[in-house]
Amino acid sequence: MPVYAYACTACGHAFEARQGFDEPSLTVCERCQGALRKQYGTVGVTFNGSGFYRTDSRAASGSAAPAKTPAAPSSGSSSTD
């Protein structure tokens, strides 16, 4: 279950509440009966590894893979008499 942070607009009381996604938001402060507001903060997500940046899928301009050259025909079994 997610934890939501609330703060009262009247008295400034701040607290966290564990609520399910389908439960309604809290609206009344338990201390002064004032109005509550949800507090939003930054989320601690870090994307590590390859594939998360635009430049990960591109080859560097000077280090492109060498072009394939056609193989030379073998001089063994085929004859052109």
CA dist., res. 7 & res. 1, Å (int): 20
Q: How far is CA 14 from CA 4, 9, 30, 40, in A?
A: 11, 10, 10, 12
The whole-number pLDDT of residue 16 equals 94
Tokens at 31, concatenated: 């201390």
| Listed residue (18, 16, 13) closest to 29, CA to CA | 13
**pLDDT for res 78:** 55
What domains, with CATH codes, occur in the chain?
A: 1-41 (2.20.28)
Q: 13 pLDDT band (50/70/90 cuts)? A: very high
Q: What is the pLDDT of residue 66?
A: 55
Query: If pLDDT is split at 50, 70 and 90, which confidence band does 4 have?
Result: very high
Residue 27 has a CB neighbour count (10 Å cut-off) of 10
